[in-house]
Structure 1
């Protein structure tokens, strides 16, 4: 639904997700994780797909173990399967579901790399590489391309676990 300016109506859940993400960026990871976990419990496993995808995607980054991060990244990808372009564009007119895929597969590739699941890491990395061509040459696209290079190099060196620049 649009407001009088032709812009989508504010989404209070997405605003709460954004506020929690900001807490994490300011060093308050535990508070951010607790806030997002409580919000997930409110939304539920079958709540709005956009909310589930965004929340799980961000909650993955706040986990203390790679196993927990993988579980949340898998939830984000599962939620994306239920998300339509139309629903995403209710939040922001430029969003397309296919634009989320490179990042989600990149995250899964890195999770599996850190856990030593190199076959699964390569599978998700291949998908991310294929899908990244759909992203524009903008800062977001470059960030994902850089992440793909980073994980590719780590896998090529046979590196398992967190790299020195991680966490």
Structure 2
């Protein structure tokens, strides 16, 4: 990669980070507008890491749970397109100002966790395969929370199980422990859903 290309990619991440700061400050509309502009510039065929990161944060800026789900699905699709050699800049481990991980009912955006400068890209940097894999617990946790808000508990359980199954990629640090704790909280919430009673959570779905 040339220095010019690296500078261009850094500029995109910087702009995403600036929009996230606005989101932290409560200016959801302006954050949405800025992220939307970047998304339009990146395009459907743009850099997968940029699209994954942007979509993951864009989900927090939505007021409609269905829109939040749509953006989280875009983030997952982009993560699936990441090449093994791509490593995270702004990690999508979620989300600005939301604590360790998204659990429905915890506030605006209700994200699973983290501010820029926190998370998998900040501890010992993972190898190429690990760099992609650390995204998945948070991505699936976010989707599970979306489906809970949309009253689709079975879909939530599918993604929650996938989040749990992917936690082996997480380090034993503040970010990893936070995501694991958030998964456990959402598991308890779903287990306590009225009329369903306690139920086990499968470790994975095929």
- Report the TM-score when normalising by structure 2: 0.70
2: distance between equivalents of 1:53 and 1:70?
Answer: 14
Are residue 152 (structure 1) and residue 187 (structure 2) matched? yes
2: distance between equivalents of 1:90 and 1:123?
Answer: 28
Pick from 78, 94, 102 the counterpart of residue 125 of structure 2.
Answer: 94
Q: How far apart are 1:89 and its partner, in Å?
A: 5.7
Aligned length: 155
Q: How far apart are 1:121 and its partner, in Å?
A: 0.5
Q: How far apart are 1:87 and its partner, in Å?
A: 2.1
Are residue 59 (structure 1) and residue 90 (structure 2) matched? no
Runs of at least 5 residues in structure 2 that lack an aligned partner in the other structure: 91-120, 195-206
Map Cα deviations across residues 99-118 of structure 1 (whole Å, 9 max, x no partner): 00000000001101111111
Are residue 136 (structure 1) and residue 171 (structure 2) matched? yes
Are residue 103 (structure 1) and residue 138 (structure 2) matched? yes
Q: Which residue of 2 aligns with 1:165?
A: none
Map Cα deviations across residues 24-57 of structure 1 (whole Å, 9 max, x no partner): 0111111111110111111111111011000000
Residues 90/100 of structure 1: CA separation in 2 closer, same or farther (3 Å cut): closer
Runs of at least 5 residues in structure 1 that lack an aligned partner in the other structure: 160-167
Are residue 18 (structure 1) and residue 49 (structure 2) matched? no
1: distance between equivalents of 2:2 and 2:188?
Answer: 45
1: distance between equivalents of 2:83 and 2:15?
Answer: 21
2: distance between equivalents of 1:2 and 1:32?
Answer: 30
Would you tell me which structure has more helix in proportion to its own residues? 1
- Report the TM-score when normalising by structure 1: 0.85
Q: How far apart are 1:153 and its partner, in Å?
A: 1.6
Are residue 122 (structure 1) and residue 161 (structure 2) matched? no
1: distance between equivalents of 2:34 and 2:89?
Answer: 24
Moved over 4 A (4+): 89-93
Map Cα deviations across residues 127-167 of structure 1 (whole Å, 9 max, x no partner): 101111220111110121121022112211217xxxxxxxx
Map Cα deviations across residues 69-119 of structure 1 (whole Å, 9 max, x no partner): 000000000001111231226886925100000000000011011111111
